[in-house]
Amino acid sequence: MSKITYLSDMLTSVFARQTTSDEQLSKGSFDELCDAVLSHRGESSGGRLASRLLSKYKHANDSERLEFFEMLADRFDINAEHTIRAAQHYAQSRTAETLTILSESVESRRQELLRRLNRVPGATTDLVNMRADLLVACKANEELRRIDVDFQNLFRSWFNQGFLVMREIDWTTPANILEKIIAYEAVHAISSWRALRKRLEPSDRRCFAFFHPVMPDEPLIFVEVALTIDPPETVASILTSDRMHIAEQDATTAVFYSISNCQKGLAGVSFGNFLIKQVANELSLSIPSLTTFRTLSPVPGLSLWVQQQLSVLPEQATSQIVDSEESVDDVPIQWLKLADRVMSATEFEFSEEENSQLQQLVAWYLTRACGSEQQSIDPVARFHLGNGASLDNILPSADLFAKGLAQSAGVMVSYLYDLDKVADNHEEYAEQRTIIASDRVLSLLEPDKRKRSKLA
Amino acid sequence: MSKITYLSDMLTSVFARQTTSDEQLSKGSFDELCDAVLSHRGESSGGRLASRLLSKYKHANDSERLEFFEMLADRFDINAEHTIRAAQHYAQSRTAETLTILSESVESRRQELLRRLNRVPGATTDLVNMRADLLVACKANEELRRIDVDFQNLFRSWFNQGFLVMREIDWTTPANILEKIIAYEAVHAISSWRALRKRLEPSDRRCFAFFHPVMPDEPLIFVEVALTIDPPETVASILTSDRMHIAEQDATTAVFYSISNCQKGLAGVSFGNFLIKQVANELSLSIPSLTTFRTLSPVPGLSLWVQQQLSVLPEQATSQIVDSEESVDDVPIQWLKLADRVMSATEFEFSEEENSQLQQLVAWYLTRACGSEQQSIDPVARFHLGNGASLDNILPSADLFAKGLAQSAGVMVSYLYDLDKVADNHEEYAEQRTIIASDRVLSLLEPDKRKRSKLA
Amino acid sequence: MSKITYLSDMLTSVFARQTTSDEQLSKGSFDELCDAVLSHRGESSGGRLASRLLSKYKHANDSERLEFFEMLADRFDINAEHTIRAAQHYAQSRTAETLTILSESVESRRQELLRRLNRVPGATTDLVNMRADLLVACKANEELRRIDVDFQNLFRSWFNQGFLVMREIDWTTPANILEKIIAYEAVHAISSWRALRKRLEPSDRRCFAFFHPVMPDEPLIFVEVALTIDPPETVASILTSDRMHIAEQDATTAVFYSISNCQKGLAGVSFGNFLIKQVANELSLSIPSLTTFRTLSPVPGLSLWVQQQLSVLPEQATSQIVDSEESVDDVPIQWLKLADRVMSATEFEFSEEENSQLQQLVAWYLTRACGSEQQSIDPVARFHLGNGASLDNILPSADLFAKGLAQSAGVMVSYLYDLDKVADNHEEYAEQRTIIASDRVLSLLEPDKRKRSKLA
Amino acid sequence: MSKITYLSDMLTSVFARQTTSDEQLSKGSFDELCDAVLSHRGESSGGRLASRLLSKYKHANDSERLEFFEMLADRFDINAEHTIRAAQHYAQSRTAETLTILSESVESRRQELLRRLNRVPGATTDLVNMRADLLVACKANEELRRIDVDFQNLFRSWFNQGFLVMREIDWTTPANILEKIIAYEAVHAISSWRALRKRLEPSDRRCFAFFHPVMPDEPLIFVEVALTIDPPETVASILTSDRMHIAEQDATTAVFYSISNCQKGLAGVSFGNFLIKQVANELSLSIPSLTTFRTLSPVPGLSLWVQQQLSVLPEQATSQIVDSEESVDDVPIQWLKLADRVMSATEFEFSEEENSQLQQLVAWYLTRACGSEQQSIDPVARFHLGNGASLDNILPSADLFAKGLAQSAGVMVSYLYDLDKVADNHEEYAEQRTIIASDRVLSLLEPDKRKRSKLA
C-alpha cells in the first residue's frame, strides 16, 4: 500500500509523525488518552481508545480520579471569547451556519469526549458512575462543578423520558435486579429477601421501575404501591405481614408509600414525576375500581428544621417548663419541644393532644417554612407539590419505626395525585408557589387552633 | 380543596387566570399548542399536550406544516444579546453557574419543545419524520435551516452510537422490517421478496442493520455482505442466482456490496462508519477464516463530473473526432467522451482498451477531482476514505445494469477495510486528505500510462 | 481403567464382544442403525446414533425409505401371544406389575425407537415429515399402516392440546413463518405477499395459528378471521381490496373464512376444533362488541357427490330435457343437472331460481347424504358439526372464483359457533348424529318446496 | 334453531335426555365430573369441565383425594377379557385396524381422562402434583399403583427428552425460580440467598436445569458444577467462600457436585442422565480447556447397609473389642464398627488408618453389595454407573458436615464421565452389570490389602 496525498500542495506539509501506538497509550496518562480519544484516530478507532480510558478510570484510585477530574475541568473548557464573537456574529446574521458555530462554541470538548466514551458498549453505566464520583469530588472542589454542567447536558438528552421503559418489578424479576431494589430502597429499608417479597406479593402490593434500554440491569427509580380500600393511617399497616389481602378488583386506593432514586450519578435528572403518573395511568387502566392515588410520605426535613428553630430560642425558653403561649416565628415553642422530645426517643406513647400538636407543627412546617426560591424546605414536599399533587392529610403516629420517630416525630403526610388536576396544580405551584391543600389540613392552620397566627 | 398561596405577598398578585382547557387547545393553532407544551402545564400534563401537537402535525397538509416550521424559526429562537452577556460573564467568572447560564442561553426554546415532544411514546419516529419534512422545506426557505440546528443537536445525542443495537437481518426477521429493507435499498434495487431472500440466504449472503431501542421497527441503516473466496469483479456475480454457495468456513473475504441509509430524517447523523466496522468485527469473530473486508462500491458522482468536464470543453473539442492528445485539466478528452458514450447506452460491449481508459479515468476522478474541504467529490469515496478504508481496486465493466452504466459507465470500486489500519488511515485522511491507495490503483495514475501528467 | 464385573458369577460369561463403532454404524443399514438406537449403547449415546439414523433417512430416496418402512413394519412388531398371556395374567391378578407388563406388551419396539429418535433436537419436525412420507407409502402398501398406529399413539400424546401455543399471525411475524402461511393456505389461495398482507391487516382481518414449542417455525394449523358488522354473503366481499375497513369496536361478527392444516404428517391429529374455540374466546374477551362467531365455508364434497348421483341416472334421464318431477333418491334431477352445468363453467350468471335450486340441493346434500358412521359425507360439514357448530345458512353465488364454481357450484355455507351451545350440539351430534340447523335452512327442506319428500 | 336428526331411523331412539348443566356438575362428585369430562360434552366443552375437576381436586383435602384415587383405580380400568380377544384377533390378522383395537383396549379411560385434563392451560403442573400425592397414597394402598401405570405412560411421552429445554441458572434468573433451587437442593442444602449466589457466581461455579415448555417456572432437575484445576478432595473446598476463583480458560475439570430432582410427581421419569451429558457437552464446547468431567458424590446408602450388616452379627461380635480378623460376608467387622462410630458422631478426627479402612469399606460396598436386579444397592452409584460413568475415586473425610458424617462416615465418591466411553460403559453395565473402576479403586479391593478375600 502506498499513499496519495489528496492535494499536491499538502504533500510538502507532511512531516514525520510518530504514531503513538494503542499499547503505549494504555500505559499513558489520562491526558494522553483524552487527547487520543478526541483525535481523528480516536474517532475511527471503533471504541478501542475510549474503552481503554474507561478501563483506566475504573482501575484508578480516588486521588487518580481527582486528578482526572481536575484535568477535565482545566483543559477542554470552552473559549468564552470565541463564544462572544460567535454570538455577535449571530446577532448580525441569523443563519444556520452562524447558529451552528455559536452552538458549537458553547459545547466544550469535554462534552464531545463524554459522547465518544459513550459509544463503547456498556459505557452509559460507567459514565453514570463517573458522575457519582464527580459529585462527591465537587463537594471539596467547586471548580469541578463545571464538568457537571456537561454531564447534565448529556444526561438530560440521553435519559429523555421518551427513552425510558417502565417495567413492573415482581417475584419473577431477575435476582440481580431485585437485589438492587433491596439495596436502593431509601424510604423504608428492606431487611431481607423475605421482606422484599412482601412488597411485591400478593397482588395488592406492587412495584414499578424505570429502566434505560442500554442499562437493562440497573433500575433508575422505583416506586412501591399498596392497593387498599381505605387510605392507610400508618406505614406499619402497609408493611405488616398480618394484614388482610385485598383482591385487585376491590381496591379503590393506590398508595405510593416509597419512591427511591437508584443512581447517584443521575442526581438532578428527574424521573419521579413521570414514574408516578405513568404508574397511576397504568393502574387505573388495568384496575377500573381504583379512584384515588395518594402517597404515604415521610417528612425528612422536619428534624433539622426543629433543631434550627430551637437553636435560636432565647435562653430562658430552653427551660423545662415552657409557657404554652411562647412561640418562635409563630410556632409555639411547646410544639417544637414536644417534637424534639419525640425525636430523641426510641419509642413514644402519644397522647391525643400531642398528636394534635405535632400535626399542627407539620402543617406549619410544610406550608410556611420556606427555603430558596420560595419553596417548601421539605424535599419530599417540594417533590410532590412540584409534581402537581396536593397536601391532603397529615398523619401523626404514622411511622413509629426508629427512623420515623427520629426524622419526623412519627408524623407522615399523604399527598394526593388527582390526575385531572395535577397539571393545573403544578402550574399554580410553579408560577406562584401556591400549595393546594385539603380542608382538613387547612383547618390545622386556622387561627382558633393556635394562639397567634398571621394567617387570619 | 382549597389553596394556600405559599408566600403571603404573592396572594395579592393572583389574577383571574383563564385556564385554556385541553380540548380548546387541540382545536387551537400550532402557536397555542407550542406555548402550552412549553408551559408549566405542559411540563406536568404527562404528554397529553405534546401528543396533541404531534397528532395535529401528522394530520396537517404541506402548507400547514410549512407555517408550523416558519413559526418555529421565527419564535423560540435564542437571544444573541443574552448569550453575549452570558459569555462575558463567564469570561470574568468561570463557575458552574455562569457556565450553566451561558449553556442555557444558547439552547433555544425550540429545542426544549422537541425534547418535550419526545417524551410521548413513539415520538422519536415522528420527530425523525418531521425533520425529513423540514429538510425538504429548507430547500425553499433558508431560514428554516436554523430549526435544523436544533434537530441536529438533539439527534446527535439521542442517536449516539452507544444506544444503537445491531441486529442481523435474515429470513426469520419480521416481515414489516423486511419490507423496509426492500423499500430502503438504495444501491442495487430489490425487485421482490424472492430477490430479497437471495440477499439473506444461504449463509454466504448476510445483512446487518442498526436499530434504536425506541424505534424497533425502523432500521436506521443496513449493509449487505457477500462472503466469497475471491474478491468479486462484478456485482452480477454477487446477485446472480446461479452462483456457487460458499460454506461459511471456506470464506476468506467479506464484501460489503450495498449500504443504505433508511431515514431521510437522520441525514447527516452518521452511522455507516460504525456499522461497517462492527459487522467486520462480528464476522471476523464468528468466521475465523475471514481475512479480508472490502467493498464493491458504486461511483455515483462520475456521471455528473464527466458532464461538467465536457461542458467546459472548447467548441472544437466537441467534434466527433478527438485527438487522443487533447485533455481537460490533465484528463484526456478521449476518456471523457468514452465515458459519456457508455453512460448514454443501455448496454455496451467494452473493448479491453476502453476498459483500461475508464479505469484510468475513474482513478483520476477519485484521487484528483476535489470538492469542498479538499475532499473527493465522489460521495461514496468520501464515505469510505473518511472511514479509514483504502482505495484498493477499480473494476471496469463491473456493473452492467442500467443504473450502473448510466451512473459510472459500468465501473465499480473496491475499498479495503484493513481493521488494523483504519484508524491510521482515517487520521491521515482527516488531517491531510491523504488517500491510501493500492499499487494497482497507483499504477493507473503513472505517467507512462498517460500522455501528459502532472503527477510525475 | 479396568473393569469389575459386578457379580462374580457373571465373570465367566463375559465373551469377547465386538463393539460396532459409531463410524461403522453410520455406514450401516437401516436395520443396524435401528438395532443400535434400541440397544443399551443407543440409550446412552446421547442422541448420536439417533441423529445418524434421522440423517440417513433424510438423505434416502423414495425406494430406500420404502425399504425402511417395510423393515419397521416387519420387525419391531408386538408379540400377540405375549399380550394374550399378559392379559390373562392381568385378568387373574390386577396389580400394577401385571398391568405394566400388559401395557408394555402392546407397545412395539418401533414406538420406543420413535421415542428415542425424538430425543434429538429438532427431531419432532423430522418425525412429522417421516409420517407424511409414511402416509403416502401406505396407499400402496396396507401393511405399513401398522407403523402408523405407533405414530398416532405418540403424536396424540406429544401434540396434546395443552402443549400447543396459539400465536397471532400478523405483519410483524417472521417472514419464514409467513411464507408457510402462503404455502399452506388450503381454502382460498394466497397469490402474493401483498395478498397475504390483506389477510392480516388492518385490524378487521386477523389470523391465528397453533404452534408446538419444539417446532417454533412450523405452524400446525391456522385460521383466518374477518371482523364484520353483517355476515358476509360472498367470499369476494371479504377478500376484495375495495372493502370498507371496520374499526375493531364496531365489529359484531367474527367470520372464520379459512382454516388450513399445515402438516400432512399430523393428519388425523385434530387441532381445528380447539383453535376455533380458543380464537373465539380470545376475540370475545378483547373485542366485547363481538356477539356472533360463524364461518364462511366451502362445500368441497358437492362436486363428487353430484357426479355420483348423475352417474346412476337411468339412461333417459340424461337427456337434455329433464322432467322437473324426476328425481334420484328424492333429489330432483333438474337440480343435479344445474349443479353439473355450473361446475363445468368458468363463469356463470345465476338466475334467482337457479340460486334457489342450488341452495336446496346443498341443504339436501349436507343433511341427508351420509357416508360411513352415518356422518355427513362433506368433510367440512363433518368438521364443523362435529365441533358443535350448527348449520346456519346456505349461500348461493357466494364463491364465484374458479375453484368455488367447480367444487360447489358457487355455493358456500355458514356454520354458527354459539359458544354457549357447542358442547350440547357436539354431544347430540356425536351420540345421535343430530344436526342442528337454523329455520332458514330447515325451510329449504320443507315438503312444499319440493315435490316428493320423505321428511314430512 | 331446530334440530335435524341426521338419520331418520335414529329419530325413534331419541329419549328425553336430562342435560346436567355445568353448574350442577361443579357441585357434583368426582365421579360425575370424571364422567362428564370423558363424555362427548366434555370433549367439546373447551376445557371448562376439566378445569372444574382440577379445581375441585386442588381444593380437596387428603381423604377426599384418597377417595378420588380409589374411584380412579376402581372404575376406568381396562377390560382384560377385551384385551385377550383383541390380541387373539390381532394374532390371526395383523392389520392396522386390529392393532389399533388392541392398542386401545390396553389404554384405560383413566388415561384418556388425564389427557383431557392436560388440555387445560397449566394443567401439566397440576397433574405432576397429583401424581406426587398419588405416590404417597400408594404406600398405604397397593391398588392405587395401577393408576400410576397410566401416569407413567403419559409422563414418559410428555417429558420425552426432546421436549426439555436446558437453561443455565445464574444470578439473572428470576427469583421465583431461584427460590425453587434453594428449596429443591437435595444434596448439600443451601442456607440462604447469599449461599445460593456462591453456587452461581463467579464463573467457576455454574448451575444448569431442565425445564418443560409448559412448566416454565418449574425446574425439573438441576445440576451444580464447579470448574477447577485439580479434582477437589472435599466438598468443603468447593463450598467455601475462601477459595481462589479460577478463570474459565484455566479450568480443566468440571465437577458435578450436586444433582437434584425437583418434582416428586416425576419420580421414575429420568432426566439426570441427559442433563449431565448435555451440560458436559455444552461446557466442553464453550470452554475448550476442560478435559475431565467428574462428580463429587455422596454415598447415601452406606449408613443403612452398615446397620444391616451389624444387625446380623453373632452376639459375641458386638462386643467392644473386635478381632481384626473377623468379618461378615468378607467385610472386616472392624471396618463396620468404625463406620458405625463415625456415623454416630457429630464431628470426628480421622487417623490415616481409619481413612484407609473407610475407603476400603466403601469400595467393597459399591462394588460387591448388590440389591435387586444385581445392581449396586447404593442409589447414587446405580445412577452414575447406569449412565455409563466409571467409579474413579473414593475420598475419605470428604464431607465432614453433619449429614455427610451420618450418611457415609464422611466418605464421598468421584464418578468419571469420559464422554468417549459412556456409551460403552453403559452397555457393559446394563447388559452384564460390569462396573468400570479405576486402578486406584481396584487396588482398594486387592487381596493383600485385606485378610480374607474371595476376589483373589
Give residue for cell 355420483. C308
pLDDT, residue B235, reads 95
User: Does pLDDT of C18 surpass 60?
Assistant: no
Give the mean pLDDT of C122-130. Answer: 96
> Which segments of B78-206 does DSSP mark as H helices, in order?
80-92, 96-105, 109-117, 123-140, 145-158, 175-184, 193-200
In chain C, which among 364-393 make CB contacts under 8 A with chain D?
A: 367, 370, 374-376, 387-388, 390
CB contact under 8 A, A175 and D176: no
Report how far residue C45's alpha carbon sits from residue D273's, in angstroms, rounded to the nearest whole number.
10
CATH of domain B302-449: 3.40.630.150
Name the nearest CA neighbour of C16 among D454, D374, D432: D432
Report how far residue A78's alpha carbon sits from residue A87's, in angstroms, rounded to the nearest whole number.
14
Report how far residue A368's alpha carbon sits from residue A375's, in angstroms, rounded to the nearest whole number.
9
User: Does pLDDT of D329 surpass 50?
Assistant: yes
How close, in Å, is residue B178 to chain C by CA atoms? 8
D57: enclosing H helix or E strand:
helix D48-59
Report how far residue C45's alpha carbon sits from residue D105's, in angstroms, rounded to the nearest whole number.
34
B171 chain-C contacts, CB cut-off 8 A? 174-176
pLDDT, residue C319, reads 56
How close, in Å, is residue C313 to chain D by CA atoms? 24
Strand-pairing partners, residue D227, are D254
**Where residue C26 falls among pLDDT bands split at 50, 70, 90?**
low
Identify the closest residue of chain C to D420 by CA–CA distance.
C45
- C88 lies within 8 A of chain D by CB: yes
**∠D391-D395-D399 over CA atoms, to 5°?**
120
Chain segment B36-74, per-residue pLDDT in tens? 999 888 787 768 899 999 999 999 999 999 999 999 999
Give residue for cell 467392644. D320
CB contact under 8 A, D6 and C161: no
Name the nearest CA neighbour of B306 among B338, B347, B345, B351: B338
Report how far residue C45's alpha carbon sits from residue D110's, in angstroms, rounded to the nearest whole number.
35
In chain B, which among 209-228 make CB contacts under 8 A with chain C?
A: 217
Give residue for cell 418535550. B116
pLDDT, residue B60, reads 95
Hey, which chains touch A, using 3+ CB pairs under 8 Å? B, D
**CB of B299 closer than 8 Å to CB of B411:** yes
C-alpha cell at C268: 388425523
Chain segment D67-86, per-residue pLDDT in tens? 999 999 999 999 999 999 99
3-state secondary structure of D53: helix
C106 chain-D contacts, CB cut-off 8 A? 83, 102-103, 106
Could you tell me which residue, B190 or A453, shows the higher pLDDT?
Answer: B190
Where do the structural domains in chain D lie, given as residue ranges? 20-158, 162-295, 302-449
Residues sharing a CB contact under 8 Å with residue D222, sequence separation 6 or more, in sequence order = D169, D181, D184, D207, D208, D209, D210, D259, D260, D262, D275
**Average pLDDT taken over every residue of chain D:** 88
Residue type, D28: G
**Average pLDDT taken over every residue of chain C:** 88
Report how far residue A122's alpha carbon sits from residue B448's, in angstroms, rounded to the nearest whole number.
54
- A159 lies within 8 A of chain B by CB: no
- A175 lies within 8 A of chain D by CB: yes
Please list the ranges in chain A whose pLDDT falls under 50. Answer: 1, 5-22, 449-456
Between the two ends of chain A, the Cα-to-Cα distance in Å is 89
Which segments within B320-395 are labelled E, that is strand?
A: 327-328, 331-332, 390-395
Chain segment C284-318, per-residue pLDDT in tens? 999 999 999 999 999 999 999 999 999 887 665 55
CB contact under 8 A, B175 and C176: no
**In the 8-state DSSP scheme, what is residue C107?**
S
What CA–CA distances, in Å, run from B234 to B200, B223, B296, D388? 19, 18, 8, 57
**Where residue D312 falls among pLDDT bands split at 50, 70, 90?**
confident
pLDDT, residue C456, reads 24
Report how far residue D206's alpha carbon sits from residue D195's, in angstroms, rounded to the nearest whole number.
13
Name the nearest CA neighbour of B409 among B359, B353, B351: B359
**CB of C19 closer than 8 Å to CB of D424:** yes
Q: B52 burial class (0-12, 13-18, 19+ CB within 10 angstroms)? A: buried
**CB of D334 closer than 8 Å to CB of D326:** yes
Chain segment D240-252, per-residue pLDDT in tens? 988 999 999 999 9
Q: In what order do the strands lie in the sheet with D205-211?
A: C2-5, D434-437, D390-395, D412-416, D292-295, D253-261, D221-228, D205-211, D165-168
Chain centroid to Cα D296, Å, comes to 18
User: Does pLDDT of B408 surpass 90?
Assistant: yes
A173 chain-D contacts, CB cut-off 8 A? 174-175
Determine how many CB atoms are found less than 10 A away from the CB of residue B199: 23
A178 chain-D contacts, CB cut-off 8 A? 175
B310: enclosing H helix or E strand:
helix B302-311
Cis geometry, peptide bond prior to residue D447 (ω within 30 degrees of 0): no
Chain segment B139-181, per-residue pLDDT in tens? 999 999 999 999 999 999 999 999 999 999 999 999 999 999 9
User: Does pLDDT of B6 surpass 80?
Assistant: no
Q: B378 burial class (0-12, 13-18, 19+ CB within 10 angstroms)? A: buried
Any idea which architecture A162-295 has in CATH?
3-Layer(aba) Sandwich (3.40)
Name the nearest CA neighbour of D442 among B383, C4, B327, B197: C4
- A437 lies within 8 A of chain B by CB: yes
pLDDT, residue B16, reads 29
- According to CATH, the topology of domain C21-158 is Butyryl-CoA Dehydrogenase, subunit A; domain 3 (1.20.140)
DSSP string, B420-433: TTHHHHHHHHHHH-
DSSP string, A120-140: STTHHHHHHHHHHHHHHHHHH
Chain segment C401-446, per-residue pLDDT in tens? 999 999 999 999 999 999 999 988 998 888 888 899 999 999 998 7
Query: pTM for the whole thing?
Result: 0.89
Report how far residue A301's alpha carbon sits from residue A305's, in angstroms, rounded to the nearest whole number.
6
Chain centroid to Cα A39, Å, comes to 35
C-alpha cell at C58: 433424510
pLDDT, residue A15, reads 30
**CB of C190 closer than 8 Å to CB of C223:** no
Give the mean pLDDT of D337-360. Answer: 93
Nearest to D40 among C6, C45, C427 (CB): C427
User: Does pLDDT of B450 surpass 70?
Assistant: no
Q: C314 burial class (0-12, 13-18, 19+ CB within 10 angstroms)? A: exposed
**Where residue D22 falls among pLDDT bands split at 50, 70, 90?**
very low
C45 chain-D contacts, CB cut-off 8 A? 423
Q: What is the rounded radius of gyration, in angstroms, for the C-alpha atoms of chain D?
A: 28
C-alpha cell at D243: 477459595
Provide the Cα torsion A113, A116, A118, A119; round to 10°: -170
What CA–CA distances, in Å, run from B81 to A86, B34, B78? 11, 24, 9
Chain segment C206-243, per-residue pLDDT in tens? 999 999 999 999 999 999 999 999 999 999 999 998 89
Determine how many CB atoms are found less than 10 A away from the CB of residue B15: 7
Nearest to A162 among B46, B124, B367 (CB): B124
Residues sharing a CB contact under 8 Å with residue A277, sequence separation 6 or more, in sequence order = A387, A417, A419, A422, B46
Identify the closest residue of chain D to A217 by CA–CA distance.
D172
Report how far residue C292's alpha carbon sits from residue D356's, in angstroms, rounded to the nearest whole number.
81
pLDDT, residue D106, reads 94
Chain centroid to Cα C250, Å, comes to 33
Residues sharing a CB contact under 8 Å with residue D320, sequence separation 6 or more, in sequence order = none
Report how far residue A270's alpha carbon sits from residue A79's, in angstroms, rounded to the nearest whole number.
30
Nearest to C39 among D388, D427, D429 (CB): D427
3-state secondary structure of B135: helix
Determine how many CB atoms are found less than 10 A away from the CB of residue C260: 18
CB contact under 8 A, B178 and C176: no
Can D162-295 and D302-449 be said to share one CATH topology?
yes
CATH superfamily assigned to domain A20-158:
Malonyl-CoA decarboxylase, oligemerization domain (1.20.140.90)
pLDDT, residue A3, reads 56
- Identify the CATH class of B22-158: mainly alpha
> Tell me, what's the ipTM?
0.87
Give residue for cell 442422541. C47
Report how far residue C210's alpha carbon sits from residue C168's, in angstroms, rounded to the nearest whole number.
9
